[in-house]
Amino acid sequence: MAGIKRNLFNKINRLLESFPVVIILGVRQCGKTTLAKQVRPDWYFLDLEKSSDFRKLVDDFDFFFKEHPQHVIIDEAQQSPQLFEELKAVIDNDRSQKNRFLLTGSSSPLLIKNVSETLAGRVGIVDLGTFKINEIYKKPLSDFYKIFESLLGQNTQDQIFSLKTALTHDHVMNAFLKGGYPEPVLANNNTTYRLWMHNYYQTYFQRDLRALFPRLDFVKYQRFITMLSALTGTIINKSEVGSSLDTSEVTVRDYLDIAQGSFFWRSILSFENSVSQSIVKKPKGNFRDSGLAHYLQNVQTREELINHHHVGANFEAFVTEEIIKGLDATLVTGWNYFFYRTKHGAEVDLVLTGPFGVLPIEIKFGMNTSPRRLVSLKEFIAKNNYPLALVINNADKIERLASNIIQLPATFL
């Protein structure tokens, strides 16, 4: 893993040039520490999960920062909530100085709150997911993401048709099945993969959650996470989930907040900026790593995956996460993601918005998308006068499906 350059490498460098502190957030074992050390290999390093390093910092913050006023990596920063107040004071002594501290953080719903309230205007934040497909196979990030650097239009279509890819269908399917946790994926051994996933999942409950939520009903929450893995890519009916768990909607909402705060789950809001008056406003969500979702669903082989009854929704979630990871690696700002669904059943799987405009995306697992399956997408872009829409699937080539709808194979992501 140390030899793999992550897509976010250049962005973190740019942020360090602009801010005194940058924090890399993400789920445990996604490669935050490795990336931080790659970006700043010569900086002083502290791991706050090591008691000796923790004591070096918290026993006397003033002395530590007097000795190390800059060029410090602090790993698992959420272990010391007081750190953020102390950093604020150190930074405010010289607000003009950039490139001073690089932090990592995971598994804490309070972490973002501490960062946003204490270090606002002083910190650049990046969200590191598990490996994107191109990172697994040591390929460059697709030029697809360059289309978001300007307004969408006719030139965008020309850009899309000129795209090249270094990825294959096998690359996509393997990443879809196994996900992107660096250690088990790079081991490339099925037994190692299953053992790693089992131990990782157990550690999440036995260490992280018990430390953060000692009063949590762990048996019920574990059932909830397993159930959630089968609901990826769908709208979550809290009432139905609560009934299955014999608990309240309020508890289900709290469970979702915990899953999102520990970077396992992503909630996706409904796109409401549309002429339609019958929009479903409930959010849907994704399990952020397809491999962990498939592990929990006991999907072990490619054949089992292809025949799985949730394969369409799982692929939709996988592609959505791939796109979000790709956009996260760019310097495009002010963008967001939504989904669209009406009470009459019309839907668009992903709607990207930003300074580039609005890009609706439909995601299909198969190779061929019939005109009948494009009705909702065509109506959506016609009613809202959007210049372009994409259908992402497992086809072999980029192809025009309508005047302003382009088929883009997942290999180009």
The DSSP result for 11-78, as a single string, is HHHHHHHH-SEEEEE--TTSSHHHHHHHHSTTSEEEETTSHHHHHHHHT-HHHHHHH-SSSEEEESGG
Residue with tokens 């010391």: 80
> Distance from CA of residue 43 to its chain's centroid?
27
Closest CA to 238 of 255, 220, 258: 255
Q: Which residues contact 120 (CB under 8 A, 6 or more apart)?
A: none
Percent over 90 (pLDDT), the chain: 81
**pTM for the predicted model, two decimal places:** 0.95
Q: Report DSSP state, residue 142.
A: P
Cα pseudo-dihedral 146, 14, 132, 321, rounded to 10? -70
| 185 shares a domain with 314 | yes
Q: How many CB atoms lie within 10 A of CB 214?
A: 8
Q: At 66, which CATH number?
A: 3.40.50.300
- Distance in angstroms between the alpha carbons of the first and the last residue of the chain: 21
pLDDT number for residue 332: 97
Please give the tally of structural domains in the chain: 2
Q: Convert the pLDDT of each residue in 302-350 to its tens digit.
A: 999 999 999 999 999 999 999 999 999 999 999 999 999 998 888 999 9
Domain that holds residue 43: 9-127
Plot region of 5 (φ>0 → left; ψ -120 to 50 → alpha; else → beta): beta
108-112, 292-296, 297-301, 360-364: range with lowest mean pLDDT: 108-112
| 284 shares a domain with 159 | yes
Q: Which residues contact 5 (CB under 8 A, 6 or more apart)?
A: 38
| 149 shares a domain with 117 | no
> Distance from CA of residue 77 to its chain's centroid?
20
Per-residue pLDDT band at 275 (split at 50, 70, 90): low
Q: Collapse the DSSP code of 110 into the 3-class scheme (helix H, G, I; strand E, B; otherwise coil) and give the result.
A: coil
Q: Is residue 1 part of a domain?
A: no
| 399 shares a domain with 287 | yes
| 269 shares a domain with 211 | yes
Q: Convert the pLDDT of each residue in 39-48 to its tens digit.
A: 999 999 999 9
Q: Is residue 3 part of a domain?
A: no
**C-alpha–C-alpha distance, residues 265 and 229, integer Å:** 9
Q: Is residue 303 part of a domain?
A: yes
